[in-house]
Amino acid sequence: MENLVNVYFFGKKYQVPESLTIMKAMEYAGYQLVRGCGCRNGFCGACSTIYRIKGQTELHACLACQQKVENDMYVATLPFFPLVKQVYDIEKIKPTEQIMMQLYPEIYACIGCNACTKSCTQGLNVMQYIAYAQRGEYEKCAEESFDCVMCGVCSSRCPAGISHPQVAELSRRLYGKYIAPETQHLIDRVKEIEDGKYVELIETLMNKPIEELKELYNNREIEK
Amino acid sequence: MYKYTQEQLDSMKKVEATRQERLNNLFARMSADEKQTVLKENHPDYIETAYEELKVGPNKGGKVLHELADLLQGKSRVLDMDIDLSKPDYDVDVLVIGGGGAGSSAAIEADNAGAKVMMVTKLRIGDANTMMAEGGIQAADKPNDSPAIHYLDAFGGGHFAAKHELLYKLVNDAPDAIKWLNELGVMFDKEADGTMITTHGGGTSRKRMHACKDYSGAEIMRTLRDEVLNRGIPVVDFTAAIEIIKDVEGKAAGAVLMNMETKDIYVAKAKTVIIATGGAGRLHYQGFPTSNHYGATADGLVLGYRAGAKLLYADTLQYHPTGVAEPTQIFGALVTEKVRSLGAQLVNKDGQAFVYSLETRDVTASSIIRECKKRDNGIKTTDGEGVWLDTPMIDMIGGEGTIEKRIPAMLRMFGKYGIDIRKDPILVYPTLHYQNGGLDISADGMTTTVPNLFVAGEAVGGIHGRNRLMGNSLLDIIVFGRNAGKSVGKIYKDIEVKELTLDHVKAFDKELKDAGINATKLSPQLLPNYTKQKDI
Ligand code: FES
């Protein structure tokens, strides 16, 4: 029989196998999850959770679908956190420093406590990417924040009330749209397609008998 | 360090010992005949006892897996309810059911056309398989490539079964889909001069896999979500569609909605309905683990089927060759195909390669199953067995730092359990990944039998045929999501919705009874039930 550990969901004690993640342990205990569960794979940020091990002062943050249970773990899920998301028209804004000042002025109130970085469930340097955003260095902000799953734990710990994931999202879109180099071969190909360049080619293919298509497929040249 | 068993550690040593040699001698590709044989003898799609014949509905006489049959022929949630259709709670031009990439793309394009759009999703916007697509998105935008070559790759990869008009659209609209995403701000991997960094995927003949590191789907999804919110398109979250509403002329005209928490019922009236509910991995067909998100329960197929829409290829599923086999905590999670694109090989317990790494997914998955079940060359794991995926080869081929730069999500996922994929190989086994089949549509995105009912994304059948290539799913989500949004944008102004009705649901129920089926299982299922279980 597998080892059982004691965990406390919202203060109530349950015994669960020690190999389980927090998410699976909650289900094992009998919870039918509706909130706080999305991809179950560490990509969507639905399952933000905070926990403390009995007797220790440190408060931990994690994704429930990724974190294993431990003995004497006190768990509270954070299925929703009121992040501030400002709306803007991506076609109209420009990647200038002003745009952050307009949309997310609170980032300039960062007191440098680093609580965001310490709590990041993805291990990102959150305070650093906010610093980049403050300076309008969107490429750096975009790169540094790229693995963000927007779980919101950082924001829950921020004394300045910053919505870090939304600041990062804006930076990434600014970078992707305005700063990253344009792709000429893409623009060219789209134009060719608009001009109908491939219509005949594909239609000829479509109208071939299956046997002939099989021939073509099985003998097609493959790029090294 | 992860606690591997002694047997696993010993086998890992053998993998290490043969690495250099394998690096220099690639395993040969299979011939067409060899592929047929390995598929027939090993692929789960060929296990006849897993299937049953549908007794009612548009596909009566067709075969689907038991788990899906139970739902398609299940009991509607609205039968015992007293629903007043004359006073809708919502009245919109376009109702989008589903909050993933297809639904969001559709909503944005319908919004562009000036329609009043509303999205409903049983979880949150972005809780979708799109978010988890790691590997990339195909588009023939390089000079040595063309939509025609893309067409042949996809048609052959799907075993020559794709619907021509749909596949045509997929490949021809692909470059524009990438351009559209890029202009929304999606950060594609590019060279300094703007050239897209593209790689092969299983079954591609040109390097046309575009990526955003190994967060491709996540990057696309979070951008689309941000755009939906910027436009102020209402997103009713934690609200499931539980039945399509029609009008007395038989056109789709809305949906019955249910709040997932309070169970309150709402009526949404709409001139057009777009089903973008995604896949079905959480039905755990044939007991397989899945890489899918929590809500992947085939709801859209059930909604559409009961409303009279036909299914196409609903009998074929994609088992992704490389699901996590160990550690047990992430059993079934996806190991992106990109790991193989970058050079990692599949290796058996003795350290021998047994398949060319970039065969199509079904062939690769079948080869792994054969290696384990028929040849007894698998490695025992906590939940079953698996084979090695030799990740350290990636940095040997691409140079140190390749893993960190190109597949950071994989590095992190295994790192959490004390496994450094740069140093040690990982254990994998096929996982239920994708629903190849779905609702039958024509090129405009509308179902072939129910007017004004559209479908986009994984809930569609026929785009890919009976197997799908890596990177064509993210693509189909964008192409067919946008397509559906544009199509409804063109017609909504001319649609007049007549009196609403749910008579088709009652009629379906009667058909069930007449066929001797006493349906008890409520459907659509909405969520899997994992309570009190250990092995999920
Ligand atoms: S459920 Fe998506 S990150 Fe945990």
The domain spans of chain B are 6-30+318-432, 91-134+169-177+185-191+211-316+436-501
How far does residue A204's CA lie from ligand 1's centre (Å)?
A: 46
Active site residue B320: yes
Which atom of ligand 1 sits closest to the CA of residue A44? 2
Tell me if A32 and B529 make a contact (CB, 8 A cut-off): yes
Angstrom distance (rounded) from CA B471 to CA B137:
4
Between A120 and A2, the higher pLDDT residue: A120
Cα B132 to averaged position of ligand 1 atoms, centre (Å): 10
Fold classification of B6-30+318-432 (topology level): Flavocytochrome C3; Chain A, domain 1 (3.90.700)
Instruction: List CB contacts (< 8 A) between A21 and chain B.
Output: 329
pLDDT tens digits for B480-505? 999 999 999 999 999 999 999 999 99
Using a CB-CB cut-off of 8 Å, the residues of chain A touching B185 are 90, 172-177
Across B98-127, average pLDDT: 98
**CATH superfamily, with its number, for domain A4-77:** Beta-grasp domain (3.10.20.30)
Give residue B320's pLDDT: 93
Atom of ligand 1 nearest to the CA of A65: 4
Residue B70 clears pLDDT 90, i.e. is over it:
yes
How does DSSP assign B118-141, residue by residue?
A: EEE-SS-TT-SHHHH--S-EE---
Task: Assess whether pLDDT exceeds 90 at residue B190.
Answer: yes
Is the model's pLDDT at B148 over the cut of 60? yes
Which atom, in ligand 1's list, is nearest to the CA of B127? 2
What is the model's pLDDT at position B452?
Answer: 98
- pLDDT of the residue at B328: 83
Judge if pTM exceeds 0.90: yes
- pLDDT on residue B535: 53
In A, minimum Cα distance to B151 occurs at A202
Q: How far apart are CA B455 and CA B481, in angstroms?
A: 8
**Residue B536 in this model has a pLDDT that exceeds 60:** no
Give Dmax over CA atoms of chain B in angstroms: 72
Region B100-112 average pLDDT: 98
Catalytic hit among B320, B370, B406, B464: B320
Provide the pLDDT confidence category of residue B532 given band limits of 50, 70 and 90: confident
- State the pLDDT at residue A73: 98
pLDDT surpasses 80 at B533: no
Domain segments of chain A: what residues? 4-77, 97-179, 185-218
Question: How far apart, in whole angstroms, are the C-alpha atoms of residue B169 and residue B480?
Answer: 8
Chain A residue closest to B160 (CA)? Answer: A210
* Contacts by residues B186-192 (CB-CB < 8 Å, ≥ 24 positions apart): B186/A176, B186/B212, B186/B219, B186/B220, B186/B223, B187/A142, B187/A146, B187/A172, B187/A175, B187/A176, B187/A180, B187/B212, B187/B219, B188/A176, B188/A180, B188/A183, B188/B212, B189/B213, B189/B406, B190/A180, B190/A181, B190/A183, B191/A181, B192/A181
Q: How close is the Cα of B260 to the center of ligand 1, in Å?
A: 19
Shortest distance between the Cα of A22 and any Cα of chain B, in A, equals 10
Residues B127, A38: C-beta atoms closer than 8 Å? yes
Which residue, by CA, sits nearest to atom 3 of ligand 1? A42
What pLDDT was estimated at residue B534?
60
Q: In this model, does residue A112 exceed pLDDT 90?
A: yes
Q: Is this complex's ipTM strictly greater than 0.95?
A: yes
Q: Judge: B223–A35 Cβ closer than 8 Å, yes or no.
A: no
Indicate if ligand 1 lies below 6 Å from the C-beta of A62: no
Mean pLDDT for the stretch of residues B26-48 = 93
Best to test chain B binding among A39, A65, A70, A122 (most B CBs inside 10 Å): A39
Index of the ligand 1 atom closest to the CA of residue A66: 4
Q: What is the pLDDT of residue B202?
A: 85
The per-residue pLDDT for B2 is 87
Calculate how close chain A gets to B533, using CA atoms only, in Å.
5
What average pLDDT does chain B have?
95
Tell whether ligand 1 has an atom less than 6 A from the beta carbon of residue A47: yes
Strands B209-210 and B379-381: unpaired
User: Residue A205: what pLDDT?
Assistant: 94
Q: What would the mean pLDDT of B143-150 be, rounded to a whole number? A: 97
Q: Residue A1: what pLDDT? A: 52
Task: Please tell me if residue B238 touches chain A, with a CB cutoff of 8 Å.
Answer: yes
Radius of gyration over alpha carbons of chain B, in Å? Answer: 23
pLDDT digits (tens, 9 = 90+) for B276-293: 999 999 999 998 999 999
Options 3.30.1490.20, 1.10.1240.10, 3.40.50.2000, 3.50.50.60; CATH of B91-134+169-177+185-191+211-316+436-501: 3.50.50.60
**Which pLDDT score is estimated for B318?**
93
Q: Which residues of chain A make contact with B222, given a CB cutoff of 8 A?
A: 150, 169
Whether residue B169 is predicted with pLDDT greater than 70 in this model: the reply is yes
C-beta pairs of B7-14 under 8 Å, 24+ apart in sequence: B7/B379, B7/B380, B8/B326, B8/B379, B8/B380, B8/B381, B8/B427, B11/B349, B11/B350, B11/B351, B11/B379, B11/B388, B12/B388, B12/B424, B12/B425, B14/B349, B14/B350, B14/B351
B119-147 average pLDDT score:
95
Q: Who among A181, A198, A223 is closest to B147 (CB)? A: A198
Distance B138 CA to ligand 1 centre (A): 26
Task: For residues A214 and A210, give the distance between their C-alpha atoms in angstroms, rounded to a whole number.
Answer: 6
Residue B272 has pLDDT above 90, yes or no: yes
Active-site annotation holds for B340 = yes
Alpha carbon B144 to chain centroid, angstroms: 29
Distance of alpha carbon B12 from alpha carbon B29, whole angstroms: 25
Residues B393-408 have pLDDT tens digits of: 999 999 999 999 999 8
User: Cβ A87–B229 below 8 Å, yes or no?
Assistant: yes
- If pLDDT is split at 50, 70 and 90, which confidence band does A54 have? very high
Site from A40, A69, A218 to mutate, B interface, most B CB atoms within 10 angstroms: A40
How far is A110 from chain B, CA to nearest CA, in Å?
24
Compare CB distances from A38 to B149, B232, B293 and report the shortest one's residue.
Answer: B293
A149 C-alpha to ligand 1 centroid (Å): 9
pLDDT per residue over B363-383, tens digit each?
999 999 999 999 999 999 988
